[in-house]
Amino acid sequence: MKNLTEGNITEAVIEAIKGTKDPRAKEVMSSLIRHLHAFVKDVRLTQAEWEAAIEYLYDTGQITGPTRNEFVLTSDTLGISSLVDIINSNPDGGTEASVLGPFYIEGSKMVEIGANLIGDSEGEPTVVSGTVRTLGGDPIEGAIIDLWQTAANGLYENQDPDQPENNLRFRMRTNKDGYYQFTTIKPVSYKVPTDGPVGRMLDLQGRHAWRPSHLHYKVSADGHRNLITEVFDEGDEYIEEDSVFGVRQSLTVPYNLVTSEEEAEKYGVASPFHRVEFDFELETL
């Protein structure tokens, strides 16, 4: 097509991709092109703004590597990761999904129900328990609970050379009642990394980088849909303003303070300690 104008360039690009064989790829790319063109026209994007956007993408690529993905962090802080979670969540119910984040490690150590993760960690002792069930309420035996969380300094083990390997992360199998239980320290609120392009973007937008205290879980069981989610402290000061939009009402729980010495002894923790309960519901495939 010659004589391209603001009025016809979008259709020219759509025409250029008409040979895309995969129908879903064609649908997605056509829509992306239309939305991007509409956006450029809507804001009357300047040359300098286009250059700034390209520089953002370039810097994002430069800082991204095997241990850090700034593209994912961009998606997270713009709410896109959460929107994808919400769109793809099970319409029939079950535990809501939430962002995976960059600190998950596959294959962390297997521990027994009742494991105590505290070791040398500082922080407030917390006993966490619950069940894994089907949507119909049947317990799922042998489901794998994969957990990871921050230490008291707000860092995950794989961000912090001073923490031992597998610190505050594990995998555990549920028993015949679908039950899991572990003792840990209360995770703390922390900031997502701000030393890259995402930090510049948050500054520009006048936003902070904090995430409210949360436990990360991956829950899987044969014949059931895998669940990646987070469980939040409902009393955290950032619960209403998570920088990556991961909080859902159904994923917030109280950290109940228990002062009874007898209860503390039962779980082998110092008193007082927090008690957290959360049940997972998995969709059957």
Q: Which residues bind Fe ion (CB under 5 A)?
A: 101
Residue (of 190, 229, 220) closest to 82 by Cα position:
229
Q: Decide: helix, strand or coil at residue 104.
A: coil
Residue (of 103, 218, 228) closest to 154 by Cα position:
103
Interaction of residue 76 with ligand BEZ, rule CB under 6 A? yes
Q: Which is nearer to Fe ion, 101 or 125 (CB)?
A: 101
Residue (of 260, 258, 243, 269) closest to 118 by Cα position:
269
Interaction of residue 99 with ligand BEZ, rule CB under 6 A? yes
From the list Fe ion, ligand BEZ, none, pick the one residue 192 interacts with, judged by a Cβ distance below 5 to 8 Å according to partner type.
ligand BEZ
Q: Decide: helix, strand or coil at residue 239.
A: coil
Per-residue CA distances from 56 to 80, 199, 204, 244 (Å): 17, 11, 13, 19
Instruction: Give one word for 3, left, alpha or beta, with left for phi > 0 and alpha for psi -120 to 50.
Output: left
Interaction of residue 73 with ligand BEZ, rule CB under 6 A? yes
Question: Contact with ligand BEZ (CB under 6 A): which of 117, 244, 247, 282?
Answer: 244
Interaction of residue 236 with ligand BEZ, rule CB under 6 A? no
Provide the minimum distance between the beta carbon of 101 and Fe ion in the complex, in angstroms, as a whole number.
Answer: 5
Provide the minimum distance between the beta carbon of 198 and ligand BEZ in the complex, in angstroms, as a whole number.
Answer: 9
Classify burial at 215, counting beta carbons within 10 Å of its beta carbon; exposed 0-12, middle 13-18, buried 19 or more: buried
**Any idea how long the chain is?**
285
Interaction of residue 247 with ligand BEZ, rule CB under 6 A? no
Interaction of residue 103 with ligand BEZ, rule CB under 6 A? yes
Count of Cβ atoms closer than 10 Å to residue 30 Cβ: 16
Instruction: Identify which range of 2-10, 31-39, 88-96, 100-108 contacts ligand BEZ by CB under 6 A.
Output: 100-108
Q: Residue number with the shortest CB distance to ligand BEZ?
A: 101
Question: Contact with ligand BEZ (CB under 6 A): which of 26, 37, 102, 173?
Answer: 102
* Positions that interact with ligand BEZ (CB under 6 A): 73, 76, 99, 101-103, 192, 211, 244
